Amino acid sequence: MLKTENQIIEIKNQKLDFSQRTYLMGVLNVTPDSFYDGGKFFDKKEAIKQGIKMAEEGADIIDIGGESTRPGSESISVEDELSRVIPVMEGLVKEVDVPLSIDTYKSEVAKKALEAGASMVNDISALRFDPRMKNVIKDYEVPVVLMHIKGTPKDMQKNPHYDNLMGEITGYLSEAINVAEESGIDENKIIIDPGIGFGKRLEDNLEIIKKLSDLKSLGKPILVGVSRKSFIGKILELQENERLEGSLAALAVAIVNGANIIRVHDVKESKRVARIVDSIKKGC
């Protein structure tokens, strides 16, 4: 099995070489109800403007989502999701060279987004919620993020429990990788995400960051999303708009412990922190 540090993932016109540095995925939620930026970029023009800003600040990927997956959220229709993401995808792809990702677990949304200019799929269900997603990823030959989630966004925070947290996450992701590869998805286009905040208690989120290197055994690049999340708010007793410093602290530790891609709301600040941590890790 190839070491993650020696892997290169090709996406659009870029090569993500994980032996060189940590990469940043900017979050662009075109929703009215996401936990942090819901409503801020629901307007197409504002969303495209924000995407351009993130590209200028150094985002390596921009992840566009049209359905909130915050705890307790309800699923929306394919039609509603498409009406939110496709206009932004079509507009932004003309403005930036940065690869665009579609954050969805619905195969039809993924397909339409890829046709509109997306170069990657970020699936919070690791291909489990929609069996047809596997075929879309295979047919379009794009990278995919497989994330661990316990339950669904609606019920995932209702008393989640683990007997062996990292063992269960590793097993879940290992099975997802096998399903993906057996379905014909290129083994070099698979990224894994432990799903911080998705069916996890405060102590679970902290343990994942602390023991992130356990996931290296799977031989895939690791994506981590800690930005502005509730575990930071619980520790600091702060609302979402006051969680930047906590997010950057968690980001730094995640990179030290093996994260290859960090999903962030605050690109400029995160880019600076990642650059320092990478320099310390590599000794230059």
Whether the pLDDT of residue 251 is over 80: the answer is: yes
Beta bridge partners of 64: 28, 102
Average pLDDT, the chain: 94
Closest by Cα among 243, 147, 235, 234 to 198: 147
pLDDT at position 74: 82
Name every residue whose Cβ is closer than 8 Å to that of residue 92 and which is 6 or more positions away in sequence: 47, 48, 51, 52, 62, 64, 100, 117
Other CB atoms within 10 A of residue 65 CB: 22
pLDDT at position 70: 78
- Please give the positions annotated as active site: 229, 263
Record the pTM. Answer: 0.94
The whole-angstrom separation of Cα 101 and Cα 96 is: 13
> Does residue 170 sit within a domain?
yes
SS3 content of the chain, % helix, strand, coil (to 5): 45, 15, 40
Provide the residue type at 250 as one letter.
Answer: A
Identify the residue whose tokens are 């509603």: 80
Range of the domain at 201: 19-282
Provide the residue type at 68 as one letter.
Answer: S
> Does residue 7 sit within a domain?
no
The whole-angstrom separation of Cα 23 and Cα 57 is: 13
- Please give the tally of structural domains in the chain: 1
Summarize pLDDT for 175-208 with one digit per residue, the tens: 999 999 999 999 999 999 999 999 999 999 999 9
Whether the pLDDT of residue 5 is over 70: the answer is: no
CATH number at residue 207: 3.20.20.20
Q: What share of the chain has pLDDT > 90, as a percent?
A: 85
Structure tokens that stand for 55 in this block: 């590209």
> Does residue 3 sit within a domain?
no
> Does residue 6 sit within a domain?
no
pLDDT band (50, 70, 90) for residue 32: confident
Beta bridge partners of 217: none
Identify the residue whose tokens are 């150094």: 58
> Does residue 5 sit within a domain?
no
pLDDT band (50, 70, 90) for residue 55: very high
The whole-angstrom separation of Cα 38 and Cα 30 is: 7
> Does residue 11 sit within a domain?
no
Summarize pLDDT for 64-93 with one digit per residue, the tens: 999 988 787 788 999 999 999 999 999 999
- The radius of gyration computed from the CA coordinates of the chain, to the nearest angstrom, equals 17
Average pLDDT score over residue span 138-161: 93
> Does residue 54 sit within a domain?
yes
The whole-angstrom separation of Cα 141 and Cα 118 is: 12
> Does residue 265 sit within a domain?
yes
